[in-house]
Amino acid sequence: MLLLEACVKWEEVRVAKSFECRHGGVVCRARITGETEEEVLQKAVAHAREVHGVDLARSKTLARYAQGLIREA
Ligand SMILES: [Zn+2]
């Protein structure tokens, strides 16, 4: 049972996601993290709009590109 609990905890850690602007070729040190891909993507969209003046939500291609940059944290 102890082993099973350890596995569940590990799984919780593993699902954390992160997004870094620099992976998209942008000179920016921002690192966005969240528990789910959707959460990270939402934050990334807000960040891109506020900091870079780019509306990722306007273009499906851009949104998909940003989504592809999300990694395991
Ligand atoms: Zn940025």
- Which pLDDT value is given to residue 73? 83
How many angstroms is it from 65 CA to the middle of ligand 1? 14
- Which pLDDT value is given to residue 57? 86
Burial of 19 (0-12, 13-18, 19+ CB in 10 A): buried
How many angstroms is it from 15 CA to the middle of ligand 1? 22
pTM of the model: 0.75
| pLDDT tens-digit readout, 7-62 | 556 555 555 999 999 999 999 999 999 999 999 999 999 999 999 999 998 989 98
Question: Which residue has tokens 């003046």?
Answer: 53
How many angstroms is it from 8 CA to the middle of ligand 1? 33
Q: What angle do CA 7, 8, 14 make, to 5 degrees?
A: 85
Q: Taking ligand 1, which is a single-atom ion, which protein residues have CB atoms under 5 Å away? A: 21, 28, 30, 51
How many angstroms is it from 71 CA to the middle of ligand 1? 16
H-run or E-run covering 10: helix 2-14
